[in-house]
């Protein structure tokens, strides 16, 4: 087993897929907050509702803009008419919340009973005069963050293809916001409004992180013409064959495919802007596509690394094991290798080698440069086997789901809950520290308790 | 279809898993899609379990949809049999497998040929029963399975224990204060001179189930889980049971009397002076009786309260408030719709109205309408209370991690009465204190004399930076503002723009 640490190239394995992860419907939790005028309707059973209620805890009580359309026995046995039932619920939602878009989240149950959501949506949309987007984010096909992928790829279809209609409006708002810093950018901004070679970024990020990435690109002289998703449904970006698109998260492969195939957009394949190394590589790749030479990026990256020294001292030489559940694993592992950690295993639910190609190359290169063993990448991992491997390897840190965190801690293994990486702000130069804040937290905490002799808390 | 934001009782399989994982060395295999193993997270987080939750999923994916599970379920069962060597494996259907209509029983039959452990299929229908009903059913199913197995093998030797003894049935994982209640019940029974025969399912072993009939009677502390098993044991083995929840002084007394009656029914000389025991405990050991006579409690007289929760806790709480503390329960309710008749009968005469619903908006509307001084309910009612500014004591599941306290907090027995008195009193006084503060304008004058602690600010915040600042959660906003301003001063910048903000963050790691 330990030999696996000494590989020269990346090795890819695939196990049984018996692993713990969140159901992809969890994406409503962050997407309803991101798209401020949306309403998410999860069409599923009590099981789905119970998961959302418990996983999202406090948010439930904040009158969220999501709800369950809970299927009852009469729905399953087709004694009730799906269309009429959905119409009734959607009218109620329209009346109570008046959203700009209703997103239907299809679940395992709607798949199994073959409820034709895609067929019903356009009819109902015409009838109730509110756009209805259908995303099949079910546990039969997808894991956790891939839920966002299904929603975004459905939204791609709703993006306008010509800015003609909106152009004038946009120009006005553009003038208004031009009070911001560099006046010399103005020409550039105007230019990017011609439909040619505009850049649209895809992936849902908290607004301040999106602003940070916009600013980073602006420093390089590149204007971001839009984001998918946008803050409001009405502001979805223009997409056509002149548009370059670039992803900011590793789990968006379906959205990327849809952008290329359906909207003829040009995909920029880059590592993801996670960690200062990733951010720089991401910016450089975009710059190279637009024929811009970035100035001062190297220094900027170095500056960030310098500011991380106190945390890096804590992780250097330590080993880490990713059990895998949210598809951020490759990028995080690459960043942690750059920080001086040794990655034993990268578990990952699903690996799109084409969409993640640049990131995989970057990981390999990083390992070579730092002269550390290549990690083993395990797709569809088997948690039981992984726990056996963790026992054998005794990593300094296991990044794992909450189902395993407490039991591993009780056995003296430091753990960090992987879900936190999904909800924390980890993108761009500015947030590199937040990643290390998370990674080092168990190390710092356990350092404080080190001498108490309470590492093993189960009877063996 | 039903538009739902929140539910009181979970889906059926959760009940089955709770019972299964409460036993020692029992493994549950869910026939479920990826992500349905959320139960493991709940158990690991809420109960702070040190051990891996003995639940795995036999994943239903696209291939299973197309071709059926085929060997997968059987393989998963036999694999788990080898890896963990459990006594029993329970195949647990979910909503997904309910509609796939695969012949799970057939898988179970095949798997049990190859595995050393016993294998059974949990007999629950997702669309017919909820979490609590499923738990009740599964517990009965397991008990019945092992007693019938013992009978078939002629291993069932019923030999009543020499001294009076009891089984406690219905203590299980993720139950509201179940662990603490269990400890308190053991103490109570020991005081009465009753031995504990078996406790099920929590910490119990399925191999010990055949010893269940050796006890003189069964004690069923909670209405929701255990009654089916108790009825089965009564009809099959003629075992009497006590189903009075010993919550509150009067009900604890009733429970004790019932236990004594059963023991005396066995025609032995039982000379325990239970009358003096009840009297001493009530008047001197428990503080609750004294509390209800003290002037603190006098101040609560006639105050309005609303009670909502599972049938057991809501009914008991209603009776405690009305009978033992003189509080007026304006509305008492439960989400256990399947047990509505029992509930109505229990609270009859102790409250103004009864509400049976599992729709939390109805509960919220009722609370808003009657404006009680305090609420006793679940976590949902706690949040409703927060919104309406009404204090709430949590008395029933569904619960959060704070309802799994590390300290000893039973709700049952004599120590339980103390805990409940504290809970009630704290809820009301907090409300009272709040009210007084409002009337007298708080502890301190509200007006702040200067606008900020440092008045020398020469810094200007650009509108978009200010907007960004407003988006930062309140509890760290001040710190971020200070750090950013400090950074701006160091850089000799007068206007704080978005870029300065982010640069400051990078510089100080704020």
Contact A315, A339 (CB under 8 A): yes
* pLDDT value, residue B431: 66
> What ipTM was assigned to the predicted interfaces of this complex?
0.88
Asked if the C-beta of A54 comes within 8 angstroms of chain B's C-beta atoms, the answer is yes
- Contact residues on chain A for B35, CB-CB shorter than 8 A: 21-25, 51, 139, 143-144
- Contact residues on chain A for B2, CB-CB shorter than 8 A: 68-70, 72
pLDDT tens-digit series, residues B285-307: 999 999 989 887 888 888 999 99
Q: What is the pTM of this model?
A: 0.88
Asked if the C-beta of A406 comes within 8 angstroms of chain B's C-beta atoms, the answer is yes
pLDDT tens-digit series, residues A122-165: 999 999 999 999 999 999 999 999 999 999 999 999 999 886 54
Q: Cβ separation of B499 and A138 shorter than 8 Å?
A: no
* pLDDT value, residue B441: 53
Buried residues in A282-315 as b, exposed as e (16+ CB within 10 A): bbbebbebbeeebeebeebbebbbebbeebbeeb
Fold matches, B290-440 and B460-509: no
Please tell me the CATH code under which domain A194-290 is placed.
Answer: 3.40.50.1980
Asked if the C-beta of A49 comes within 8 angstroms of chain B's C-beta atoms, the answer is yes
Cα distance between residue A96 and residue A85, in whole Å: 17
Look up the CATH superfamily of B165-284. Answer: Nitrogenase molybdenum iron protein domain (3.40.50.1980)
Q: Domain boundaries in chain B?
A: 12-129, 165-284, 290-440, 460-509
* pLDDT value, residue A285: 97
Look up the CATH superfamily of B290-440. Answer: Nitrogenase molybdenum iron protein domain (3.40.50.1980)
* pLDDT value, residue A457: 82
* pLDDT value, residue A1: 40
Buried residues in A78-106 as b, exposed as e (16+ CB within 10 A): eeeebeebbbebbeebeeeeebebbbbbb
Q: Cβ separation of A410 and B464 shorter than 8 Å?
A: no
* pLDDT value, residue B438: 63
* Active-site annotation holder among B123, B296, B348, B389: B296
The beta-carbon neighbor of A207 closest among B42, B53, B471 is B471
Buried residues in B211-232 as b, exposed as e (16+ CB within 10 A): bbbbbbbbbbbbbbbbbbbbbb
The beta-carbon neighbor of B41 closest among A138, A403, A410 is A403
* pLDDT value, residue A172: 40
* pLDDT value, residue A108: 93
Mark which residues 91-130 of B lie under 8 Å from A by CB. 94-96, 99-100, 126-128, 130
Question: Is it the case that residue B209 has pLDDT exceeding 60?
Answer: yes
> What is the SS3 string spanning chain A?
CHHHHHCCCCEEEECCCCCCCCCHHHHHHHHHHHCCCEEEEEEECHHHHHHHHHHCHHHHHHCCCEEEEECCHHHHCCCCCHHHHHHHHHHHHHHHHCCCEEEEEECHHHHHCCCCHHHHHHHHHHHHCCCEEEEECCCCCCCCCHHHHHHHHHHHCCCCCCCHHHHHHHHHHHHHHCCCCCCCHHHHHHHHCCCCCEEEEECCCCHHHHHHHHHHHHHCCCCEEEEECCCCHHHCCCCCCCEEEEECCCCCHHHHHHHHHHHCCEEECCCCCEHHHHHHHHHHHHHHHHCCCCCCHHHHHHHHHHHCHHHHHHHCCCEEEECCCCCCHHHHHHHHHHCCCEEEEEEECCCCCCCCHHHHHHHHHHHHHHCCCCCEEEECCCHHHHHHHHHHHCCCEEEECHHHHHHHHHECCCEEECHHHHHCCCECCCCHHHHHHHHHHHHHHHHHCHHHCCCECCCC
Radius of gyration of chain B (CA): 28
* pLDDT value, residue A312: 96
Split at pLDDT 50, 70, 90, the class of B372 is very high
Question: Is it the case that residue B510 has pLDDT exceeding 80?
Answer: no
* pLDDT value, residue B504: 85
pLDDT tens-digit series, residues A422-455: 989 999 999 999 999 999 999 998 888 878 888 7
Please tell me the CATH code under which domain A24-142 is placed.
Answer: 3.40.50.1980
Mark which residues 55-74 of A lie under 8 Å from B by CB. 55, 57, 60-61, 64, 67-73
What is the pLDDT averaged over residues B119-131? Answer: 94
**Best mutation site among B13, B16, B28, B35 for testing chain A: the one with the most A CBs within 10 Å?**
B35
pLDDT tens-digit series, residues B159-188: 999 999 999 999 999 999 999 999 999 999
- Contact residues on chain A for B76, CB-CB shorter than 8 A: 18
**Range with top average pLDDT, A180-189, B32-41, B224-233, B483-492:** B224-233
A235: tokens are: 């502001």
* pLDDT value, residue A188: 44
CB–CB contacts below 8 A, A to B: 182
Question: Is it the case that residue B491 has pLDDT exceeding 70?
Answer: yes
Cα distance between residue B356 and residue B363, in whole Å: 9
Look over chain B and give the mean of its residue pLDDT values, rounded to a whole number: 90
Contact A434, A421 (CB under 8 A): no
- Contact residues on chain A for B51, CB-CB shorter than 8 A: 407, 410, 458
Q: Catalytic site residue B365?
A: no
Cα distance between residue A187 and residue A185, in whole Å: 6
The beta-carbon neighbor of A406 closest among B48, B130, B509 is B48
Cα distance between residue B7 and residue A53, in whole Å: 8
pLDDT greater at residue B85 or residue B444? B85
Question: Digits of tens for pLDDT over chain A (460 positions)?
Answer: 444 445 678 899 999 999 999 999 999 989 999 999 999 999 999 999 999 888 877 566 667 789 999 998 889 888 889 999 999 999 999 998 999 999 999 999 999 999 999 999 999 999 999 999 999 999 999 999 999 999 999 999 999 988 654 444 444 444 444 444 444 444 444 444 444 689 999 999 999 999 999 999 999 999 999 999 999 999 999 999 999 999 999 999 999 999 999 999 999 999 999 999 999 999 999 999 999 999 899 999 999 999 999 999 999 999 999 999 999 999 999 999 999 999 999 999 999 999 999 999 999 999 999 999 999 999 999 999 999 999 999 999 999 988 999 999 999 999 999 999 998 999 999 999 999 999 999 999 888 887 888 878 888 6
Among B106-110, B156-160, B448-452, B488-492, where is mean pLDDT lowest? B448-452
* pLDDT value, residue B449: 42
Asked if the C-beta of A50 comes within 8 angstroms of chain B's C-beta atoms, the answer is yes
Of all residues in chain A, what percent carry a pLDDT higher than 70?
A: 90
What's the CATH architecture for B12-129?
Answer: 3-Layer(aba) Sandwich (3.40)
What's the CATH architecture for A297-452?
Answer: 3-Layer(aba) Sandwich (3.40)
Please tell me the CATH code under which domain B460-509 is placed.
Answer: 1.10.8.550
CA nearest A364: which of A319, A333, A386, A393?
A333
Among A69-78, A144-153, B102-111, B118-127, where is mean pLDDT lowest? A69-78
Mark which residues 189-208 of A lie under 8 Å from B by CB. 207-208
pLDDT greater at residue B254 or residue B506? B254
């Amino acid at each position: 087993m330990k030999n696996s640490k000494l590989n020269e190239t990346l090795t890819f394995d695939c196990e049984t897929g018996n692993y713990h992860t969140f159901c992809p419907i969890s994406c409503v939790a962050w997407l309803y907050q991101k798209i401020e005028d949306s309403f998410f309707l999860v069409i599923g059973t009590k099981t789905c509702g119970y998961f959302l209620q418990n996983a999202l805890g406090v948010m439930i009580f904040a009158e969220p803009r999501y709800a369950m359309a809970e299927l009852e026995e009469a729905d399953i046995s087709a004694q009730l008419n799906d269309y009429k039932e959905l119409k009734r619920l959607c009218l109620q939602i329209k009346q109570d919340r008046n959203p700009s878009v209703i997103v239907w989240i299809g679940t395992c149950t709607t798949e199994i009973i073959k409820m034709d959501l895609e067929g019903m949506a356009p009819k109902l949309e015409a009838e109730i005069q509110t756009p209805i987007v259908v995303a099949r984010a079910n546990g039969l096909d997808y894991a956790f963050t891939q839920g966002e992928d299904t929603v975004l790829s459905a939204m791609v279809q709703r993006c306008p293809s010509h800015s003609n209609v909106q152009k004038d409006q946009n120009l006005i708002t553009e003038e208004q916001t031009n009070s911001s810093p560099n006046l010399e950018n103005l020409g550039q901004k105007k230019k990017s409004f011609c439909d040619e070679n505009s850049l649209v970024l895809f992936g849902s990020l908290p607004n301040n992180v999106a602003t940070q990435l916009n600013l980073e690109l602006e420093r390089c002289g590149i204007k971001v013409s839009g984001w998918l998703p946008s803050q409001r449904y009405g502001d979805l970006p223009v997409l056509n064959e002149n548009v370059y698109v670039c992803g900011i998260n590793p789990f968006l492969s379906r959205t990327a495919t849809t952008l290329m195939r359906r909207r003829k957009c040009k995909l920029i394949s880059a590592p993801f802007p996670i960690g200062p190394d990733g951010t720089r590589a991401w910016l450089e790749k975009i710059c190279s596509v637009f024929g811009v030479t970035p100035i001062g990026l190297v220094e900027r990256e170095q500056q960030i690394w310098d500011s991380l020294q106190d945390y890096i001292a804590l992780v250097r030489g330590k080993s880490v094991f990713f059990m895998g559940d949210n598809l951020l694993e490759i990028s995080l592992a690459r960043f942690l290798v750059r920080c001086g950690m040794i990655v034993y295993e990268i578990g990952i639910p699903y690996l799109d080698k084409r969409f993640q190609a640049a990131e995989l190359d970057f990981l390999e290169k990083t390992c070579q440069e730092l002269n550390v063993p290549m990690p083993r990448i395990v797709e569809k991992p088997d948690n039981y086997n992984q726990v056996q491997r963790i026992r054998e390897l005794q990593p300094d840190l296991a990044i794992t789901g909450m189902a395993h965190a407490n039991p591993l801690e009780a056995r003296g293994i430091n753990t960090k809950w992987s879900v936190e990486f999904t909800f924390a702000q980890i993108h761009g130069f500015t947030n590199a520290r937040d990643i290390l804040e998370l990674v080092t937290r168990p190390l710092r905490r356990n350092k404080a308790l080190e001498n108490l002799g309470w590492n093993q808390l189960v009877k063996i | 279809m039903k538009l739902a934001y929140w539910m009181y009782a979970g889906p059926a399989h959760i009940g089955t898993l709770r019972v299964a994982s409460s036993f020692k060395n029992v493994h549950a295999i869910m026939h479920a899609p990826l992500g349905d193993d959320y139960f493991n997270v709940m158990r690991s987080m809420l109960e702070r379990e040190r051990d891996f939750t003995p639940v795995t999923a036999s994943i239903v994916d696209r291939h299973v949809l197309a071709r059926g599970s085929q060997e997968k379920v059987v393989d998963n069962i036999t694999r788990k049999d080898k890896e963990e060597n459990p006594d029993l494996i329970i195949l647990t259907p979910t909503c997904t497998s309910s509609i796939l209509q695969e012949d799970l029983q057939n898988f179970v039959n095949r798997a049990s040929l190859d595995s050393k452990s016993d294998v059974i299929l949990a007999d629950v229908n997702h669309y017919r029963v909820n979490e609590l009903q499923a738990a009740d059913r599964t517990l009965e199913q397991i008990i019945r399975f092992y007693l019938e197995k013992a009978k078939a093998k002629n291993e069932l030797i019923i030999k009543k224990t020499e001294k009076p003894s009891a089984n406690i049935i219905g203590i299980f994982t993720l139950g509201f204060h179940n662990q603490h209640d269990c400890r308190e019940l053991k103490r109570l029974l020991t005081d009465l001179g009753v031995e504990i025969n078996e406790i099920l399912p929590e910490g119990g072993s399925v191999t010990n189930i055949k010893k269940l009939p050796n006890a003189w009677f069964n004690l069923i502390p909670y209405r929701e889980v255990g009654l089916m098993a108790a009825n089965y044991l009564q009809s099959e083995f003629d075992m009497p049971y006590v189903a009075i929840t010993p919550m509150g002084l009067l009900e604890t007394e009733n429970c004790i009397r019932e236990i004594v009656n059963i023991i005396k029914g066995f025609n032995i000389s039982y000379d325990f002076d239970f009358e003096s025991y009840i009297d001493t405990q009530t008047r001197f050991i428990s503080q609750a009786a004294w509390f209800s006579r003290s002037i603190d409690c006098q101040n609560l007289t006639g105050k309005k309260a609303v009670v909502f929760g599972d049938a057991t806790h809501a009914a008991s709480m209603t009776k405690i408030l009305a009978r033992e503390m003189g509080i007026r329960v304006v509305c008492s309710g439960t989400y256990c719709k399947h047990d509505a008749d029992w509930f109505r009968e229990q609270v009859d005469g102790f409250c103004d109205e009864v509400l049976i619903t599992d729709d939390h908006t109805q509960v919220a509307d009722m609370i808003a309408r009657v404006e009680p001084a305090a609420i006793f309910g679940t976590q949902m009612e706690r949040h409703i209370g927060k919104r309406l500014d009404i204090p709430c004591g949590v008395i029933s599941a569904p619960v959060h991690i704070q309802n799994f306290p590390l300290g000893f907090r039973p709700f049952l027995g004599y120590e339980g009465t103390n805990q409940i008195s504290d809970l009630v009193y704290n809820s009301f006084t907090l409300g009272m204190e709040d009210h007084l503060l409002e009337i007298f304008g708080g502890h301190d004058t509200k007006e702040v004399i200067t606008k900020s602690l440092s008045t020398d600010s020469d810094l200007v915040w650009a509108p978009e930076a200010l907007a960004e600042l407003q988006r930062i959660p309140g509890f760290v906003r001040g710190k971020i503002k200070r750090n950013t301003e400090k950074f701006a001063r160091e850089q000799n910048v007068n206007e704080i723009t978005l870029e300065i903000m982010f640069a400051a963050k990078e510089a100080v790691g704020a």
